[in-house]
């Protein structure tokens, strides 16, 4: 059974419909990449599914349960998790407090401590900075913290909106490798929005190419990458 199914989603902001009838799904333990040119609606699609942007039409099923109308906080409480592209940490809180707030919905302090140990084992850098204000972290550390915060709830599915945005290539690749490690350790399915299509499709199991608010192509990562027509048309990858 698919963990997450979004059917025929129309979404956007105010009165403007950005996403025009998109259907995607996410299976157990799958990493699915959502790629496409700037302004194609990748972020908006995630926001619409999560209830941050406006949903005009469509249905969202999580573990077979209809969660279409639920506000973001309720989605988090039932096991979904979302890393926004920007403003994805609490800058005025310490690293540790950021993680505690990530675990806000958990009441058992022992469980929170366990979760924090797991997160620190994945991101050892954060442990060293646990008492530092998050606003003082470097770009790469911030993104780690953003992912770490989203992991604290023991989510059953994770949406990541361009976690590598603005990072140096080396750091970006390191973070993507960490995502694979997280998947191996926790088997959490992830929907990953990425600006850098090649990187994302190489590591993902499947991919969707979004163009002007519609799915243009879907398939396995290598499949999409191997289609020469798509490379130039949708992904902006230069032919070597």
Partner 1 sequence: MVPTLAYTVFRAIIDGLLEGSLYALMGFGLTIVFRVTRVANFAHAEYVTYGAYAAYVAMVAWGLGLVPAAIVAALVVAGVALASDELVFKPLWRRGSTPLHFLVASIGVGLVLRFSLQAVAASVPGYLNIRLPEFPSTLAIIGGKVAINVVHALAPLLALGTTAALHVLFTRTKLGKAMRATASNPTLARISGINVIMVRRVTWIIGGLLAGLSGFIISYYIQANPEVGWNFLLWMFAAAIAGGFTFYGTIIAGIILGVVGQVAIILAGYYLGVTTAYKPAIALVIMVLVLLFRPEGIIRIQSLGLRRRA
Is residue 149 involved in binding partner 1 (CB under 8 A)?
A: yes
Is residue 153 involved in binding partner 1 (CB under 8 A)?
A: yes
Among 97, 205, 218, 223, contact with partner 1 (rule: CB under 8 A) = 97
Is residue 102 involved in binding partner 1 (CB under 8 A)?
A: yes
Among 91, 169, 177, 222, contact with partner 1 (rule: CB under 8 A) = 91
Note the helical H segments in the chain. 42-50, 72-77, 95-102, 109-122, 124-128, 139-151, 169-186, 197-203, 221-226, 228-230
Is residue 77 involved in binding partner 1 (CB under 8 A)?
A: yes
Footprint (CB under 8 A) of partner 1, residues 14-53? 50, 52
Size of the site for partner 1 (CB under 8 A): 30
Q: Which two tokens stand for residue 82?
A: 């979302």
How far apart, in Å, are the Cα atoms of 123 and each of 38, 68, 70, 95? 30, 33, 31, 12
CB 163 within 8 A of CB 146: yes
Q: How would you classify the pairing of strands 4-13 and 157-161? A: unpaired
* Shortest Å, Cβ 97 to partner 1: 6
* Shortest Å, Cβ 12 to partner 1: 14
Give the angle subtended at the CA of 143 by the CAs of 198 and 155, to the nearest 5°.
Answer: 90
Q: Rounded CA gap, 155 and 79, in Å?
A: 5
Select 93 or 233, whichever has its Cβ closest to partner 1.
93
Q: How would you classify the pairing of strands 190-193 and 31-35? A: parallel
Is residue 101 involved in binding partner 1 (CB under 8 A)?
A: yes
Q: Rounded CA gap, 158 and 108, in Å?
A: 22
Footprint (CB under 8 A) of partner 1, residues 110-139? 130-133
* Shortest Å, Cβ 159 to partner 1: 10
DSSP 8-state symbol, 173: H
Footprint (CB under 8 A) of partner 1, residues 167-226? none
* Shortest Å, Cβ 129 to partner 1: 11
Give the closest residue to 159 by CA, choosing from 99, 53, 83, 102.
Answer: 83
* Shortest Å, Cβ 182 to partner 1: 18
Is residue 84 involved in binding partner 1 (CB under 8 A)?
A: yes
Footprint (CB under 8 A) of partner 1, residues 57-76? 71-73, 76
Q: What does the binding site for partner 1 look like in residue numbers (CB under 8 A)? A: 50, 52, 71-73, 76-77, 82, 84, 87-94, 96-97, 100-102, 104-105, 130-133, 149, 153
């Amino acid at each position: 059974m698919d963990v997450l199914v979004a059917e025929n989603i129309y979404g956007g902001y105010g009165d403007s419909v950005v996403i025009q009838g998109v259907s995607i799904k996410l299976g157990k333990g799958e990493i699915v990449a959502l790629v496409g040119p700037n302004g194609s609606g990748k972020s908006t699609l995630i926001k619409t599914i999560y209830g941050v942007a406006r949903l005009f039409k469509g249905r969202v099923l999580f573990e077979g349960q209809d969660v279409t109308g639920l506000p973001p906080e309720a989605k988090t409480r039932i096991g979904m998790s979302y890393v926004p592209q920007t403003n994805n940490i609490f800058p005025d809180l310490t690293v540790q407090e950021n993680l505690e707030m990530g675990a806000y919905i958990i009441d058992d302090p022992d469980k929170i401590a366990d979760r924090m140990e797991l997160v620190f084992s994945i991101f050892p850098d954060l442990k060293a900075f646990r008492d530092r204000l998050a606003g003082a972290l470097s770009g790469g550390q911030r993104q780690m913290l953003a992912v770490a915060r989203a992991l604290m709830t023991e989510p059953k599915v994770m949406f990541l909106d361009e976690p590598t945005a603005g990072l140096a290539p080396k750091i970006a690749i390191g973070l993507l490798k960490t995502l694979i490690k997280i998947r191996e350790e926790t088997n959490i399915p992830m929907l990953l929005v990425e600006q850098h299509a090649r990187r994302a499709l190489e590591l993902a199991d499947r991919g969707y190419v979004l163009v002007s608010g519609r799915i243009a192509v879907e398939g396995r990562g290598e499949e999409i990458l191997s289609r020469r027509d798509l490379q130039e048309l949708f992904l902006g990858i230069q032919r070597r």
